[in-house]
Amino acid sequence: MNKRLICLATGLYLAGTLQAALACTTIIVGKGASVDGSLIIARNEDTSNAVDPQLIMRHDPSTEDYVFRSNSFGNPANNQFSWQMPAGTLGYVAFPEWESVQAGNPSFEEVGFNDRGVALSATETIFNSDAVLAVDPYLVETGIGEDGITTVVLPQAASARHGVLLLGYIIEHVGAGEGFGVAFTDAHEAWYLETVSGHHWVAQRIPDDAYFVSANQGRFQQVNLSDPLNVMASAGLAVFLIEQGLYDPSQGPLDLFACCIANGTHDQTYNYPRVERLLSLYSGLDETGKDGRFSLFPTPSEKLSIADVARGLRDYYQGTTHDPYTHQNPQEPWRPISVLRASLSHITQTRSELPVAIGRVNYIALGMTALSAYVPIYWGLSELPAEYQHASDQADDESLFWRYRKLQTLVFQDYPRFAPKVQQAIHAFEQENAREQRQMEQAYLASYQQEPAFAKSLIQKFTGAMLTRQRVMLDQLTTTLARQLDMQDLRNDDYTRMIHEIETSYHFHGA
């Protein structure tokens, strides 16, 4: 994710008076690689600073056509992308950026489910090579980018494949405003799309028994364009690359990493370590020295759970010399997976064997993942939580985003001392949630066919009780830490200033 960033083909980055940021880590799990047969797409939404919250919003199906227009503050800056949306689009729930909601034009919606059970996560920022961008550059001023992908594609996608084709069509006919990777799932399969250039793209299906990870660098290597069940691509891709001298068929299969993916010295500290860490955690692989060509679709040593995915998204090289937080070393060269400028992290789960109301779940963590709980938001939730619908770039006393940010601010006053206590409390909270979830889902399954209204109320009741427990946990932790630090009198503007200053110190620049 790189909000408010202009990415030029030359590799230079401009962001006006705003600080550029290049971030996000993605994990996708095939249904045969998960403990319960679910499909999972997950991503840390890392923004340019620590005061850029995402909100939750439900969109009703449309009855009339309309035009989506990029927000002027969007990425790329001053982008003028627009798209004609047809009448009859699907309803969906997503997580737009607060500033877009305030402007009355929700965008940067990051992740969501639609009425057909399609889930989409956008985007993982990647960079295509200077060679391919020299002949087909990004359409910075008019192409589609993170600002519009979820908002345009999710309301129209009837399946994961259909979502890939919709986004691919836009890239081919209007162009990509930046380099990106986008994840899709439905009840049956998961796909990941990567840009190749301004008008070209490739998508691959995640094998059922495998998982996929990405960290701000294109991951596709050799691709078989003659395998439509598992690979989709822009029309004429191979011909384009041959004509531009970027691919020679006599030298073997098409290798996208060689011709179309940026791979520089900065990747070795900003991107490589995150992928290497996840491959080690999940498969016991040691892939140091692979120069970016890491295993694409490995199988896990043990099937992965929601907790396993959360563990990966929370990682900051704990137990190693590269742990920047425990060692209180803002100059650590390895960029960790969990960073303070995360606005939101999601683990989006599809369990096709269950009724859709409880089979589609977004586990949402706010702020820095290492110091935040993943909370399940069910598709069947009648009323979306008010605490997730209001927040801005200024601290407040109501939103959950700022409850977490205030706690995270205090932890960073003495991370080695306070982080273990907070993480222990979050773990206990999540364990209690898991127990309550199992009981609620069992009760739902026992009643949803004969008493659908009652069954639906169980989801709302569970969510309300869980949110109350979360508020109590956060308030108690924050009060305790503030007292121990003699910071009981901090005001909201103090928290806003302090979290910004801490994040600036631990920003981890790079791409």
Mean pLDDT value of segment 242-255: 97
pLDDT of residue 76: 55
Paired with 241 in beta bridges are: none
Helices 492-505 and 400-411: angle between axes, nearest 10 degrees: 60
pLDDT one-digit tens code per residue, 43-81: 999 999 999 999 999 999 999 999 999 986 555 567 899
Residue 12 pLDDT exceeds 90: no
Length of the chain as a residue count: 511
For the chain, the helix, strand and coil percentages under 3-state DSSP, each to the nearest 5: 35, 20, 50
What is the token pair recorded at 168? 């691919």
| pLDDT confidence band for 143 (50 / 70 / 90) | very high
Residue 104 pLDDT exceeds 50: yes
Residue 18 pLDDT exceeds 70: no
| pLDDT confidence band for 509 (50 / 70 / 90) | confident
Above pLDDT 90, what percent of the chain? 93
Cβ-contact 187, 259 below 8 angstroms? no
- Of 294, 334, 380, 391, the closest CA to residue 95 belongs to 391
Residue 3 pLDDT exceeds 50: no
**DSSP secondary structure letter of residue 505:** H
Lowest mean pLDDT among 7-16, 319-328, 362-371: 7-16
Across the chain, mean pLDDT equals 94
Question: Number of H helices and number of E strands within the chain?
Answer: 14, 18
Residue 21 pLDDT exceeds 50: no
pLDDT one-digit tens code per residue, 273-287: 999 999 999 999 999
* SS3 assignment, position 231: strand
- CA–CA gap between residue 375 and residue 370 (Å, rounded): 14
What is Dmax (Cα atoms) for the chain? 71
Residue 498 pLDDT exceeds 70: yes
pLDDT of residue 89: 98
Cβ-contact 183, 28 below 8 angstroms? yes
Mean pLDDT value of segment 96-116: 96
Catalytic residue among 7, 24, 259, 260: 24
- CA–CA gap between residue 160 and residue 415 (Å, rounded): 41
| Catalytic residue status for 7 | no
Question: 11 versus 242: which is more confidently predicted?
Answer: 242
Residue 74, in any domain of the structure: yes
Mean pLDDT value of segment 8-17: 29
pLDDT of residue 255: 98
Domain, as residue range, for 172: 6-505
pLDDT of residue 11: 34
Paired with 112 in beta bridges are: 94, 120
Residue 416, in any domain of the structure: yes
| pLDDT confidence band for 242 (50 / 70 / 90) | very high
Residue 387, in any domain of the structure: yes
Residue 4 pLDDT exceeds 60: no
Residue 53, in any domain of the structure: yes
Residue 260 pLDDT exceeds 70: yes
Residue 511, in any domain of the structure: no
Residue 510, in any domain of the structure: no
Mean pLDDT value of segment 20-24: 61
- CA–CA gap between residue 294 and residue 285 (Å, rounded): 10
Residue 353 pLDDT exceeds 50: yes
pLDDT of residue 510: 73
Question: 8 versus 310: which is more confidently predicted?
Answer: 310
| pLDDT confidence band for 19 (50 / 70 / 90) | very low
Measured from the Cβ of residue 319, the count of other Cβ atoms closer than 10 Å reads 7
pLDDT of residue 23: 79
The tally of domains found in the chain comes to 1
pLDDT of residue 72: 67
Residue 374 pLDDT exceeds 80: yes
CATH number of domain containing 477: 3.60.60.10
- CA–CA gap between residue 73 and residue 373 (Å, rounded): 30
Mean pLDDT value of segment 222-248: 98
Residue 392, in any domain of the structure: yes
Residue 118, in any domain of the structure: yes
- CA–CA gap between residue 352 and residue 362 (Å, rounded): 14
Mean pLDDT value of segment 277-299: 97
